[in-house]
Structure 1
Amino acid sequence: MEETIPGTDTAQIPQQRGDSLLETAVRYAEERHWDVFPGAWLVTVDGVQRCSCEDPACGAPGAHPTRPDWATQATGSATVARRMWQKQPGASILLPTGRAFDAVSVPETAGFLALARMERMELTLGPVTLTPDRRMHFLVLPGASVKVPELVRRLGWAPSSLDLVALGEGSYVAAPPTRVGSRGAVQWACRPTPANRWLPDAEELISPLAYACGRDR
């Protein structure tokens, strides 16, 4: 049975349940040429899922880096990725931004509104993730984190007035099918396909994204 996201075309949601984290991490590196690195994982204690970091107040249980030098762990090699997940098969799949892509993060409601608007505008999209904490990440060409604030200003918005954040060098996103504690798994709102291998520039998407975030305030 396929996982579905309300309000999306179920044909765009890939089957993730049959794929292990190891197989998926290797596929991201091999097929998409994305750098990947293993993050924390979930452990079950007295029937309750907790983060491997053992912090009871962990804000992203099972879905964050496990060491301060996480950026040096990231690899685009499928062979190295396989070796890393073989050591800890339950490790989350984290993707560093600022390398193969940046990500524009918006609230889920704004993201779905923007997706509908982009479809009407016939814009070419890259992959888009949907997280259990109700945010969507639109993958775009690297460099977005630098230019997005100015692009937003040109549209007449103060960047601080919109819940729109561009993630670049030094940041990361969790990739499907990573689970975030009991909240659920990260999913694809728009899955990676051969058709969206070439990512859009943030400038192409910023207008509908900013508009949607403005409506969502």
Structure 2
Amino acid sequence: MDRTDRIGKRARVAGWLRRVQREDPGAGRDLRADLILDVVRLGWPVCPAAHPLEYGCSCDRVGCPSPGMHPVSFAWQTQATTDVVQVTRWLERHPDANFVTATGVAHDVLDVPAQAGELALQALGSEVGPVAACGPDRHLFFTATRGTPVDEDEWWPCELDCHPETLDEHPGLRWHCRGSYVLLPPSRHPSGEQMRWIRGPETPLPDPLRVLDVLTDACDTVGATATDSRWLMGM
């Protein structure tokens, strides 16, 4: 290859890199670290989670019912932090780890079947806050948190949501508040899909009760449709 050909090849490569960078501003950066640190800077506490590994989970639990969808440590509630230095250290030490965010501190999360989530997105319009697709089956709607009300009767622990394996038993709407957690994009879902933001975390957090009303209606609509379909099929 002569000098002219080498120059031409370098020019073509440089042109390709510029096109990639224009099409994908995140090209050449650690997108995983960027996405996790973005939410940390918003004040969302995070900690490392297990990740799907071959046909199972990276944890040492035999037959883990929720591969890659739970924190690494049983002490995750005290471990979750907004310390950028600590989170950066985790990102570097555990390059394959998923990450979760503890709910009930900076935000709550309403977790619904994806079909209901799509209906709610249309109904809420500009009122919707951050929304993430969690695998092929669930949408996560991030809202303002109920926090710790003065009247403790207005608060309930999220024991159900602390155990991901209960999802099959309770597949409808779930409210993740104090004592719970959810996966964050770009975590890898057991389905093989990567979590993604439908609306980014920089979007203002809406009132949870307003979102709850819309999601409840959407879940009812999806449930009624599913029931009608089973009846038509003679099930």
Q: TM-score, normalised by structure 2?
A: 0.68
The Cα of 1:17 is off from its aligned counterpart by: 9.8
2:105, 2:147 within 8 Å by CA — same for their partners in 1? no
Residues 38, 162 of structure 1: alpha-carbon distance in 2 compared, 3 angstrom cutoff: closer
- The C-alpha deviation readout for 1:157-207, integer Å capped at 9, x for no partner, is xxxx992221111110101000023431111121223xx2x3111122222
RMSD, aligned CA: 2.8
Letter in 1 for 2:30: D
CA pair 187-17 structure 1, distance change in 2 beyond 3 A: farther
Q: Counting helix residues as a fraction of each chain, which structure ranks higher?
A: 2
For residues 74 and 216 of structure 2, the distance between their equivalents in structure 1, rounded to whole angstroms, comes to 33
Cα contact 2:136–2:191 (8 A) shared by 1: no
Partner AA of 1:60 in structure 2: S
Provide closer, same or farther for how the CA distance between residues 209 and 50 of structure 1 changes in structure 2, counting only shifts above 3 A: same
Cα 1:176/1:79, change in 2 over 3 Å: same
Which of residues 73, 76, 79 is equivalent to 1:67?
73
Q: Kindly state the Cα deviation for residue 49 of structure 1 after the two structures are TM-superposed.
A: 5.2
Letter in 2 for 1:39: A
What 5-or-longer segments of structure 1 have no aligned partner? 1-13, 149-160
Deviations 1:25-78 (A, max 9, x none): 222212x221110111344xxxx3542114453233223112211111111111
Per the TM alignment, residue 84 of structure 1 is displaced from its structure 2 partner at its CA by: 1.8
- Rounded Cα–Cα distance in structure 2 between residues aligned with 1:118 and 1:41: 32
Match for residue 33 of structure 2?
22
Q: Does the aligned pair in 2 maintain the 1:36–1:75 contact within 8 Å?
A: yes
Q: 1:52 aligns with which of 36, 55, 58?
A: 58
CA distance change for structure 1 residues 184 and 191 in 2, over 3 Å: closer, same or farther? same
Higher relative contact order (CA 8 A, sep 6+): 1
The yes-or-no answer on 1:41 pairing with 2:44 is no
In the other structure, the counterpart of 1:168 is 177
Larger radius of gyration, structure 1 or 2? 2
Q: How does 1:144-163 map to 2 (within 5 A)?
A: 163=172
Q: Deviations over 1:132-164 (max 9, x none)?
A: 15111111111189579xxxxxxxxxxxx9922
**Residue 135 of structure 2 contacts residue 191 of structure 2 at CA under 8 Å; is this kept in 1?**
no
Q: Which amino acid aligns with 1:74?
A: A
1:110 Cα deviation after fit: 0.5
Residue 127 of structure 2 aligns to a residue whose secondary structure is: coil
Percent of aligned pairs with the same residue? 30
Going from structure 1 to structure 2, the CA distance change for 1:92 and 1:42 (only over 3 Å counts) comes to same
Judge which range, 79-88 or 54-63, deviates more: 54-63
State whether residues 98 and 188 of structure 2, in contact with CA within 8 Å, keep that contact through their aligned partners in structure 1.
Answer: yes
Determine which of 121, 137, 142 is the counterpart of 1:139.
Answer: 142
Distance 1:164 1:50, change over 3 A: closer
